Structures are given as structure tokens and as C-alpha cells.
Structure 1
Amino acid sequence: MKLNKADEVYAIAVDIMPQIKKANYTLESSEIDVNIAKSNYYPSLSLSAQWGASANWLMEDPNGFNRSLGDQINSTKNTYIGASLNIPIFNKLQTRTNVKNARISVLDAKFSLQQEKLALRKEIQQAYADALAAYNKYLSSYEAVMSYKESFRYTEQKFSVGLVNSVDFNVAKTDFTRAQSDLLQSKYEYILRNKILDFYKGIPIVL
């Protein structure tokens, strides 16, 4: 069972964890807001166009005949095209304030992103420490099983020739069984702790 290294896990997690992505998107958005605020320093040109016409089903021509809709539209249509140029002269102070506020938002977003990264690193380091402790517990439990297994084997041999009574035999057997149980428990605890590290790598937890 290979133990995931904390730095390796963090290098992957920092690119895929949703809280980091959200903080990055917020930072990108705030940087765009700075450019939008700066755009108010420059003149702006706007264009507009309009087209209209009117028609009436019952409209008659001078001879008393109903005029066709097409004829009415052609005779009443009108178009309009206009342009306006806005040169910012009096709002520079407001624009400067808006740009400054937008830049402050960028700094806030950068700080939030850094805080999220630090929190993620702390979580992973704690998860790694827990997994390492579980791994060491598994190793010590394995050594204990080997020791109790050998002890029980000797006790069993002595019991078979009458050198050990049934009480000592049962004690040795119980100790061996308990050590096996502790080993199994420590094994699954280590697997779970390692799966938590897998989660930070984007690997679904499947037991």
C-alpha cells in the first residue's frame, strides 16, 4: 500500500479543488473589472439607427380605392442614423475612484486565493499526518501479530506435552487473536486515511 506524499497531493489538489477554482475565477473577474473601470477614461462613440413605417387596411387613395399595404409602407417609411461622441471631462475623479476600488478588489481576491491555498495545504498536511500515523500503527500491529503468533506457537507446543496449563494456553491464544484483530483494524484505518488523500487528487473514494 503506497502512501501519497503531501506535496504531491497538494500539487494536484490546487488545480482541481472547487474552492481554489472559485477563488481563481473571482480574481480573474476582479481584474476584468479594473479594465472596465479604466475604459471610462477614454472617449466613447455610440451609433444608433431607426427605421419606421405605417399602414392601414382601410386607407383609400384619391380615387376611392383601398391602397395596398406595400404602397403605404413605401410612401411612409422613414430611416434615421445617428452617432454620438462622449468625451469624459468632468467624471475623471469618479473614474479614478472606481479604478482604485477595482484594484482594491483585486488585492482582496488575491488575498482570498492565498488563504484558500493555505487552508487546502493545511488540510492535506493533516490528512497526510493521519495517514502516516495509521501506516505506522499498521506496521507495529503487524510486528505484534508476528510476535504473538510465535509466542502462541511455543505455548501450543508446551501445552501439547503438558508443560503449560489450559489457562496460560487460552491467554496466549486470546493475545494472538486480539493482535490479529488490531492488525485488521489498523489496516482498514490506513486504507481509509489514504483514500482521503486520494480524494484531494480527484479520485473518488471507493472502499
Structure 2
Amino acid sequence: MKKSIIIALLLCGVLVNAQEKKWTLLECVNHALENNISIAQSELDVNLADINKNQARSNFLPTLSANGSYSVNTGANINPATNQFENNTFRSVSGAINSGVNIFSGLANWKTLQRAKINKMASEYRLDKMKDDISLFVANSFLQILFNREQLKVLMSQNDVTKGNIENTQQLVDAGVLPRGDLLELKATDATQLQQIIAAENTLFISKLGLAQMLQLKDYETFDISDDDYGLVGGDILEKQATEIVEKAKEEVNDVKIAQTNFELAEKDLELQKTNYYPTLSGFWGYNTRWASTQLNPFTGEDIPFIDQLYLFDGTSVGVQLNVPIFNRFTTRNNVKRSKVEVERSKYLLEQAKIDLESTVYQAYNDAKNSKKTYEAALQTEEARLLAFEYAKERYDVGMSNAFDFNQSRIVYENSQSDVIRTKYDYIFKLKVLEFYFGLPITDLN
């Protein structure tokens, strides 16, 4: 009985710990990278590229094959031992071993290996880009939850203030200092704020649900992120020049790397097509032997034993084969022309990728600088609105202002609080994007 109680308590403790788990940004990103289906598929592409590279290496090896056959022949058939027609029933066995080696084919094997290496590198870049995109998406979703949670806290705090004002106003109305309409105005404000709180709670839940689904978690109800009070991340990245960030981005961001490897692949494809202009030279070696049940010894008239026939009728062949392309209806020439077009296309795409990256980084740099200014302006506005609200409250408390004017001042102040939260997390995310282009991790919010 005591043992059962202990086990039950342990299970309850595990369940409580599981429900109380708070996910950090790093945990969210790592879990998404480990469980995302698109990433798993991209990893399979990397594996296939590695297999293709190994196959390209194996193409330098000679081939080796063996074959054998056993048959029962009736009627007129060629005796494999004598190569003559026999109108008789006999059994026959034949076997051979063959080997071939590519001596020269315009360096096609070497170029194929080079292409396979580049293709593997390209698949790795595509995988890294997908991981980067998912990391940014998770970070954005994580920050959205933080924003929604802070917004909910502000609304609840504002409602607490409103409830306090209702109590104070009730006393002033009962004392005949303020008209009853002011109390009704505050109660209407309280009801409106409760509606806003409910909407904010729903928005917060939906944002958590979205991140939980992105992480492929099943327990949506208990999913939550850590309760750490995240402040502003360091803005040191803004002290760098935009040109410096652009040059660093060309080394770190995978978009240009992918375009560069695609250009190199197109060049290798062109080289491979040109190898079809060259003659090919291959070597071969073969060994074969045979046996027939009707083969007789010409001196004794007896059947020649199986093993003896294998030695008696075996043979080898060795040689080289030259194949010279003369005319194939301009297929090779047209394929070369197509490959040249693809080289030019990929070259333009590479240049466009560099231009796009430079434009994107400059835009991200300006967005981060402007978001910083916007956040600082929002802080100043909030400070000014707070002073105005406190002044309006003092006037209202002594009966020098009506509830409508007081509520207008309160609404403006509350909006300024929301703007501070919104601009804060917008600034954080844009800083993280800019740091991402500079090669810094996006999982650190401290």
C-alpha cells in the first residue's frame, strides 16, 4: 500500500512538472529544428547528394560481372562445345567472367565527381537556409506571445485602476460631489475593458497555439513560454556600418551561397555536355568456358568429363574499344547550347541574389534604426501621457472635471502604453533579424 502511494505521488509530480514546463526561445528553436517535417525531407536530400557523390567516386572503378547458363536442348541445336549443329538431345553449360574499364571519356567521370561534390554542398546550403527560416519564424512567434502577454498585463492593470476609480467615484456620488452619470461612465469603461481583456486572452491563446503547432506539440492547453522578464537586447549591431553588415551577410546568409553553387553546377553541366564531343576509349577482359553432355573423346569414344571440358573449351579475350562520335543529329551541339543558356541564367540569378541580399540588409538596417527611434518616441509619449493622465485624475478626483474628459485622457494614456509594448517587441525582432544577417544567433533575448 505504501509503495503504491509513493508511485502515485511520483507520477503526480511528473505530471505537474510536465504541465509547468516553460519553453525558452532556445528550446523552441531546437525542438522545431529537430521535429520539422520540411527539415527532415531536406536532410534526406543531403543524404541522396552524398550517395550520388559516392557513386561518382565509384565510377572510376572497373566493372566485373559473371554469368552462367544451363540448358537442355532437343532437335537441331548448336553444340556450345563444338559450335556445330546436332540433331540430338543434349545438355549444355556455359559460363563467363567479364571486366571493363573506362580509359578515356573526355574526363566525364572526373567532372561528374566535381559536380556531385558541388551538389552536396548546395543541398547542405538549402538545409541551412530552411533551418534559418524556421528559426526566424519561431523567434517571431515567440516574441508575438511575449507581446500579447504584456498587452494582457497592461489591460488587466488598467482595469484594476478603473475598478479603484469606480469605488472612489461611488463614494463621491454618494456624498453628492459628483453626478451619477460619472459613475455610470466608469462602469461602462469597466465593461469595455473586460471585453478587451477577454479578446487579449484569446489572442494570447491563439499565438501560443500557433507556436505549439509549429513545434508539433499535442498538449496545446498547457503549452507556455518562460516567464522571464525580457528586456531590450543590445543594440550594438546598429553601431556598425551597413556596408560591413552587407559584406558579412554575403558570408553568412545561405541565399547567395545557394545561387553561387547553382551557378557552379550549371558550369559543370556545360563541361559534362562538352565531353560528348570526345571519343571514348575503354578496355575489356573476359573469360568463358562451356560443357556439353554429348561431347566425346575422339580417341576413346567416351564422354569427356565435366571438369575436363571446362578446361578444354575455355578461352579469354582482352582488348580495347574506341568509339568516335561522328554525327548524332546535332544532339550534342544543341545540348551544349542549352547548357550555355543555363549558365547565363544562373549567372544572372547569382547577381540578382547578391543585389536582393544587399537591398534586404539595407532595409533591415534602416528598419532597425527606425524601430529604435519609434520605441524611444513611444517612451517619451507614454511619459507625457502619464503626466497628463495624472493631472486629469487629480482634477476629476476634486470634481473639477467630468467623467468623459477623464476617460479620454485615460484612453490616450492606455494607447500610449500599448504603443510602447508594440514598438518594443518590434524593435527586438528587427534587431535580431539584423544580427542574423551578421551571423549572430537569434536565440538569445537577454
TM-score (norm 1): 0.69
Contact 2:285–2:317 (8 Å) recurs in 1: yes
Query: What does 1:21-60 align with in structure 2 at a 5 Å threshold?
Result: 21-39=257-275, 44-55=280-291
Aligned match of 2:305: 67
User: 1:116 offset after TM fit, Å?
Assistant: 1.9
Partner of 1:118: 355
Deviation at 1:182, TM superposition (A): 1.3
Partner Cα separation in structure 2 for residue 170 and residue 97 of structure 1: 78
Q: Judge conservation of contact 2:392–2:401 (CA < 8 Å) in 1.
A: no
Contact 1:3 1:132 in 2 (8 A): no
Structure 2: 5+ residue stretches without partners:
1-232
Taking a change above 3 Å as real, the CA distance of residues 86 and 66 of structure 1, as seen in their structure-2 partners, is: closer
What is the letter of the counterpart of residue 28 of structure 1?
E
Given that residues 433 and 442 in structure 2 are in contact (C-alpha distance below 8 angstroms), is that contact kept between their aligned partners in structure 1? Answer: no
Q: Which residue of 2 aligns with 1:127?
A: 364
Task: State the SS of the aligned residue for 2:305.
Answer: coil
Contact 1:3 1:131 in 2 (8 A): no
Q: CA deviation at 1:74?
A: 2.3
* Structure 1 partner of 2:317: 80
Residues 375 and 424 in structure 2, CA contact (< 8 A), matched pair in contact too: yes
Cα distance in structure 1, aligned partners of 2:362 and 2:277: 48
Q: What is the alpha-carbon distance in structure 2 between the residues aligned to residue 146 and residue 19 of structure 1?
A: 43
Note the alpha carbon deviations across 1:24-61, whole angstroms, 9 max, x for none: 222212222343355456664321222222246x5676
> One-letter code of the match for 1:119?
D
TM-score normalized by the length of structure 2:
0.37
For residue 136 of structure 1, report the CA deviation from its aligned partner: 1.9
3-state secondary structure, aligned to 2:282: strand
Identity %: 28
User: Could you tell me how far 1:11 is from its partner in structure 2?
Assistant: 3.5
Match among 404, 410, 422 for residue 185 of structure 1: 422
Q: Contact conserved, 1:51 with 1:77, CA < 8 A, in 2?
A: yes
Bigger relative contact order (CA 8 A; separation at least 6): 1
Q: Give the secondary-structure state (helix, strand or coil) at the position aligned to 2:290.
A: coil
| Secondary structure at 2:321 match in 1 | strand
> Can you give the 5+ residue segments of structure 1 that lack an aligned partner in the other structure?
none
1:128 is displaced (CA, Å) by 3.4
Contact in 2 for aligned 1:37/1:102 (Cα 8 Å): yes
Structure 1 segment 156-195 matched on structure 2, within 5 A: 156=393, 162=398, 164-165=400-401, 167=403, 169-195=406-432
Change in 2 beyond 3 A, CA 1:97/1:182: closer
- The SS at the match of 1:119 is helix
SS of corresponding position for 1:165: coil
- The count of corresponding residues between Structure 1 and Structure 2 is 202
Give per-residue Cα distances to partners, 1:118-169, cap 9 Å, x unaligned: 2233333333333333222111101111222333445555666x48435455
